[in-house]
Chains A and B, each alone.
Chain A
């Protein structure tokens, strides 16, 4: 109880890390529902990695040409790199899809492998190490400046508003493209809007929590919610609640046990998923037996 009171105190030293984790925990699953529903889960792994490569690339490029020291503009530099790489990857995948017979898993796998290798190469360079962005790439959730938190909150508020406003059309295009076309819907335009939402969510989130946590919050809460709800109407809300509760509980556990926050969040979400699957399996056994 005292732990909860301490964490929830307005003067809590790490409150920005808590708020940042909660924002991502609540919002990322809303986007992840579409990744899971469109069978694009692997894209949820690849794009955060691309975003990470973008952060490393931006710092590498800046260090190469400007020889600068660490300064306050690093966040915007990282955000630019993350956004440019993520959106370029999305457009590249879309073009590749229209001109190639390679399966989506193959394209996404190649993208992931390339992005992961590029990130490691850039991080391994002396210039990146000088600037000291290794913590940023790992997703140091502990120290989040207030202005960066506000950017995240504002960006994610726009994303939630867009998801709510265009929910019907995004779902229609994602669930049955042929039906959407028979209604005269511009499927490509709706796809691009969804990809823009996914890209923005990832490029913003990766800056604060890193690729692993971003992937975890995109994918695991929708999988849990899909097992707990019947129908699409409550799926997004349930996924968001699961993500938010996991983020809060993960923060409390990590703070109490002095564990790294990001991996704690993801591990906790996976444990919850395993418990839900196990419980449903046992209930199924009892139902069949009775």
Chain B
């Protein structure tokens, strides 16, 4: 189908030559807001990382272009996997998001700094700009990482477990922010999550990764199926 931001055709994803999932075909279109669901270890994060170009695909074709140029990704990692040993402030972490658009030799300047501050304001974390990133709470870190992804001026926002390790009010605020970005700015969003209840209000479609297959459908249907299967697996089969 024409106009897809990202399309997978018969793609195998995995690490060190060992596939986690094979024969994947999917498309993400501008304005989509979809969730990748599935049990732990099923390959949701690997799909996301392959989409972002972080992990190379093992087989198949991935195309990601928009108007003849490469798609710009805004990637939000699982916050507990980001181990910043550098003593960076929240503002400096967000400024990293601007580095993708700067050629070698060009430094982060006033324009990029102002842009980073605007992104922090957008996620309601402007007051954190001067604080050290590693001293922030889980929810504050997550806001800063979303701001960093926005600083990349992305066509597609990819979030890996954005709600893990965060209390309910903060999760709600982050989901509300994502919903607003999708509705008001038509920002395309793909997120990996286990928090089914919260995302129901935000996402429109879900891709359920189950038994090596991708099942895609309307959010409410897929979330219900996912919950039923999860209950069966956890309460009966295990």
Across the A-B interface, give the 3 residue pairs with the lowest CB-CB distance, nearest first: A183-B100, A231-B89, A37-B86
Given A181-B53, A182-B52, also A176-B87 (CB < 8 A): no
Cα(A165)–Cα(B105), bound, Å: 5
Which residues of A are found within 8 Å of B100, using beta-carbon distances?
A: 182-185
Contact B99–A183 (Cβ < 8 Å):
yes
B141 at the interface (CB under 8 A from A): no
Cα(A235)–Cα(B92), bound, Å: 12
Contact A167–B82 (Cβ < 8 Å):
no
Cα(A169)–Cα(B52), bound, Å: 18
Contact B92–A233 (Cβ < 8 Å):
yes
Of B70, B75, B91, B92, the residue contacting A178 (CB under 8 A) is B75
B104 at the interface (CB under 8 A from A): yes
* CB-CB contacts below 8 Å: A153-177 with B: 165-169, 171-172, 174-176
Binding site for A on B (CB under 8 A): 49, 52-54, 70, 73, 75, 77, 82, 84-89, 91-92, 96-97, 99-100, 102, 104-108, 130, 132, 148, 152, 158
Contact A226–B87 (Cβ < 8 Å):
yes
B75, B87, B108, B152: most-surrounded residue (chain A CB, <10 A):
B87
Which residues of B are found within 8 Å of A36, using beta-carbon distances?
A: 85
- Shortest distance from the beta carbon of B190 to any chain A beta carbon, whole Å: 13
A124 at the interface (CB under 8 A from B): no
A interface residues, tally (CB under 8 Å):
29
A67 at the interface (CB under 8 A from B): no
Contact B85–A38 (Cβ < 8 Å):
yes
Chain A residue with minimal CB distance to B154? A182
Contact B75–A231 (Cβ < 8 Å):
no
Which residues of B are found within 8 Å of A180, using beta-carbon distances?
A: 99
Which residues of B are found within 8 Å of A175, using beta-carbon distances?
A: 84, 86, 88, 96
Contact A176–B54 (Cβ < 8 Å):
no
